[in-house]
Chain A
C-alpha cells in the first residue's frame, strides 16, 4: 500500500464518527471512540473547526459536523445567481467607468458572457449575454486562466490562435503573462482580441476564495488608454466592483 498520512486518516475517522448515530459528541467520547489521547483528539478537532468542518456547541461544548461540509458537496454557484448578485455592482461599474461591463464564467473552452451592462451613452447597443469569448486573449479569459486551474488547462488545450497581430501565441509568453496577472490581481487586453479595443478584468471569488467568474469593462483604446497605459482609475473601478461582488457572495444565499 502507498504511504498514507496518519493525521488525515484520523481526521476522517473523527468526521465519520460525528456523521453516524449520535450527532453531538464530547471530546472524551470522541477520543475514546477512535482510541486516541484527548490532547491529540483536541488538536484534530481544533483544526477541523478552523476549516469549518466541525462546529462546537458553545453551551455543552460538544462537537458536531460543520456547515462547510454541506457546502463542499453543494458548491456549484449558479451563474444566474451570480448575475443577480452582481447586478447593482456592475451597473455602478458601467456608470463610473463610462464603459460597458461584462461578467464572464468558464464554459467549455471559453468565456461565457452571463451579464452585460451597456455603456452609459445613448448609442445603440446589443445585449451580448450568451456570447462566447476566447480564454487566451481577452481580459476576462486571462483572469479565469490565471486563477482557475480548470480554465488554465482549457486554455492550454485549446491553443493560442492569433486573432489579431497583438495576440499572445507562445505558451511560455502566456504563462509569464498569467504570473503577472496573479501578482497584480487583474488582467488586460489591449487590441489582442479586437482591433482598437481594450479591456480590463478582475476575479470574483466566493467565500472560500475560489474563483467563480470574472468581471471587467471593455471600450475603445483611445478612451481606455493614456500615455502611461490603461487608466488607473478604470483598473481601480474594476477591482472595486470585483471585490464588492465577492463580498456579496460571502453573505450566503437569498
Chain B
C-alpha cells in the first residue's frame, strides 16, 4: 500500500442490485480500497423483487466507513463523493420521518406488466417512446410509482398532500447523505431520470402530460440535476462535510468510466446480463430497431450527451445455467476449458431466450432453443455455442445501433466478469469484425461515478484529463474469414427465428 497520509482521493458509492460498494480512487484513477456488502433480495410473490431501503442505507454507511478505513485515510482527504446505482428501482418514503412507506420495487420486478399493457391503450408499448425514448415496460420506474400509489392504502392521498418523496436509489442515497429529515436534498440526475419514463428527453424536465397519463403527482418528484455538480455536502457520518458531486445510473457510469466521450464510442458490460451503450452526441436518436434512447451523462451546465442502449437479458446467466442447472462445468471460467477442447460449435446454436427475447426483438412469446443438434454434438460443442450466443447477441445490438444512428462502431470497450474469458472476447471481435479492448481498471462503474464527482470539484480538469488515465490492458483483433462469419451469422439468425412464437394461445 502506498503512503496515503497526505494525498487526495475521490470516493464512489455503487448502490447495486445485489450489494452496495464503496471504492476509493486516487488521482490516476487507480483503486486504493474497496468495501462491499450484500443486501437481502426479497421475493414476496413469483415475479416480484423488493429491497429494504433502510438496510441498503445502513450498508452504504458501513461500506463507506470500511473503504476509508482500508485506505487508511480521513474524510479531509476525500475531495468528493460520487454515486452510481442500480437503475429504475423505485422507492417512496415519508418526507418527515425518512421512513420508506414500502420496500423498494426492484427493476427486475414484473408486477406492472398488466399495468403497462393498460397504459399502452390502443397505441401499444411505444405510446411514450417519442418523449421518453423508452418502450412501456415493467422495468421503468414510472409504472412502479403508479402501482404503489394505487395499491398501498392511503399512499395516493399522502402523495398528493406532499408528504411523500419518490426516488430511484441515487435520490435515496443522496437525500440521506445530505441530512435526510434534517435538510436532505431531494434530487436525481438526468441519467436516472431518463429511466423513469416520466422525463422528456428534449426538455430534460418531467413531462406534464405523461405525469397526467401515469397519474403520478408532481409533488413526489425530485429535482432533475446534471450528473456532475455539487448537490450538497454530507451531513454527519464519516464523510461529514464532503461534497456529494455526482450521480449516474450504473450503465451510464460505466460508459463514463470507459471514457466514451466521443460520438460513436461505445462500451459493453458483460455480467449476468449485458448492456451495450453507444455515445450518440448531443442529439437524442429515436430507435426504430428495438433499442432505447437514454441520457448518457450531463456535466454541469454543458449540453447533455445521449446514448443508444441495447440490453441482453442472458449472457453470464447462461454460463451459470450450464454450471448450476446442467452441471457440465464446476466454475464459470471452466466453460472456456470445455469450449477449447473442440475446434468449433459442431453445428449447434444456443439461443437463451429464457424469458423471451430482448433487444432488438422484444418478443415475450419466445423461449430458449438449442438448434442444429446431431449425434456428433458433444457438451464441448454446447460450451462453444454458449459463448457464441453472447457474441452473436452483441452483434445483433451493434447492427441495430448502426441502423438507428448510421454510425459505425470502430472499437468496442468491454468490462464485467465475462471479460476474463479470452475465447469469448476473441469471438466477439471476430463476429463484430472490430477490435475489442479491455481497460486496465475493471471497476469502470465506480470509476465513472468518481470521475464525474472529481470533475465537479476540479479534482480532474476536463474529460481529456480523464482520457489520459485510460489504459489498455488487452486488445483482441478480428481474425475470421468473412464468408465464414456470414455463414455462421445466418445460422444464428435462423436459430433465433426458431425461438419465436413458442408461447401461444394455450399458455
Q: Does B474 contact A (CB under 8 A)?
A: yes
B474 touches A117 (CB 8 A): yes
B333 touches A95 (CB 8 A): no
Given contacts A253-B331, A254-B331, contact A87 B442 (CB under 8 A): yes
Residues of chain B in range 428-484 having any CB-CB distance to chain A below 8 Å:
440-442, 471-476
A83 touches B334 (CB 8 A): no
Residues of chain B in range 15-58 having any CB-CB distance to chain A below 8 Å:
30-31
Q: Does A80 contact B (CB under 8 A)?
A: yes
- Residues from chain B with Cβ under 8 Å of A83 in the complex: 333, 420, 422
Residues of chain A in range 60-99 having any CB-CB distance to chain B below 8 Å:
78-81, 83-84, 87-88, 91-92, 94-95
A95 touches B476 (CB 8 A): no
Main secondary structure on B side of the interface with A: mixed
Closest CB of chain A to B337's CB: distance in Å?
5
Given contacts A120-B471, A253-B330, contact A87 B420 (CB under 8 A): yes
Q: Does B65 contact A (CB under 8 A)?
A: no
Distance between Cα atoms of A83 and B337 in the complex (Å): 12
Residues of chain A in range 80-124 having any CB-CB distance to chain B below 8 Å:
80-81, 83-84, 87-88, 91-92, 94-95, 116-118, 120, 122
- Residues from chain B with Cβ under 8 Å of A91 in the complex: 440-442, 473
- Residues from chain B with Cβ under 8 Å of A122 in the complex: 472
A88 touches B442 (CB 8 A): yes
User: Which of the residues A80, A84, A117, A129 comes within 8 Å of B473, measured between beta carbons?
Assistant: A117
B474 touches A80 (CB 8 A): no
A94 touches B333 (CB 8 A): no
A80 touches B475 (CB 8 A): no
Closest CB of chain B to A218's CB: distance in Å?
15
Given contacts A80-B421, A118-B474, contact A95 B440 (CB under 8 A): yes
- Residues from chain B with Cβ under 8 Å of A127 in the complex: 474-476
Q: Does A125 contact B (CB under 8 A)?
A: yes
Closest CB of chain A to B67's CB: distance in Å?
16
B475 touches A118 (CB 8 A): yes
Q: Does B265 contact A (CB under 8 A)?
A: no
Number of A-B contacts (CB under 8 A): 64
- Residues from chain A with Cβ under 8 Å of B250 in the complex: none
- Residues from chain A with Cβ under 8 Å of B109 in the complex: none
Given contacts A80-B421, A87-B442, A129-B422, contact A118 B337 (CB under 8 A): no
Closest CB of chain B to A210's CB: distance in Å?
18
Closest CB of chain A to B416's CB: distance in Å?
11
Given contacts A83-B420, A87-B420, A120-B440, contact A95 B331 (CB under 8 A): no
* Tally of contact residues, A, Cβ under 8 A: 22
Closest CB of chain B to A233's CB: distance in Å?
11
Given contacts A91-B442, A253-B331, contact A125 B473 (CB under 8 A): no
- Residues from chain A with Cβ under 8 Å of B421 in the complex: 80, 84
Residue from the set B333, B417, B473, B476 with the largest chain A CB neighbour count within 10 Å? B473
Closest CB of chain A to B23's CB: distance in Å?
12
Distance between Cα atoms of A233 and B471 in the complex (Å): 21
Distance between Cα atoms of A151 and B109 in the complex (Å): 53
A118 touches B473 (CB 8 A): yes
B472 touches A118 (CB 8 A): yes
- Residues from chain B with Cβ under 8 Å of A81 in the complex: 331, 333-334
Distance between Cα atoms of A163 and B490 in the complex (Å): 48
Closest CB of chain B to A145's CB: distance in Å?
24
User: Which of the residues A79, A95, A254 comes within 8 Å of B30, measured between beta carbons?
Assistant: A95
Q: Does B229 contact A (CB under 8 A)?
A: no
Closest CB of chain A to B213's CB: distance in Å?
45
Q: Does B119 contact A (CB under 8 A)?
A: no
Distance between Cα atoms of A88 and B417 in the complex (Å): 11
B331 touches A117 (CB 8 A): no
B471 touches A95 (CB 8 A): yes
Distance between Cα atoms of A30 and B30 in the complex (Å): 56
Residue of B nearest to A130 (CB): B422
Distance between Cα atoms of A88 and B31 in the complex (Å): 10
Residue of A nearest to B473 (CB): A117
User: Which of the residues A84, A116, A129 comes within 8 Å of B333, measured between beta carbons?
Assistant: A84
- Residues from chain A with Cβ under 8 Å of B388 in the complex: none
Distance between Cα atoms of A47 and B318 in the complex (Å): 43
Q: Does B332 contact A (CB under 8 A)?
A: yes
User: Which of the residues A84, A92, A125 comes within 8 Å of B420, measured between beta carbons?
Assistant: A84
Residue of B nearest to A82 (CB): B333
Distance between Cα atoms of A81 and B330 in the complex (Å): 10
Residue of B nearest to A90 (CB): B473
Could you write out 19 A-B pairs with CB less than 8 Å apart? A78-B330, A78-B333, A80-B333, A80-B335, A80-B421, A84-B417, A87-B419, A88-B442, A91-B473, A92-B31, A94-B473, A95-B440, A117-B440, A118-B473, A120-B471, A120-B473, A122-B472, A125-B472, A125-B475
**For the complex of A and B, 4 pairs with smallest distance between CB atoms:** A80-B333, A84-B420, A81-B333, A120-B471
Chain B positions near chain A (C-beta within 8 angstroms): 30-31, 330-337, 417, 419-422, 440-442, 471-476
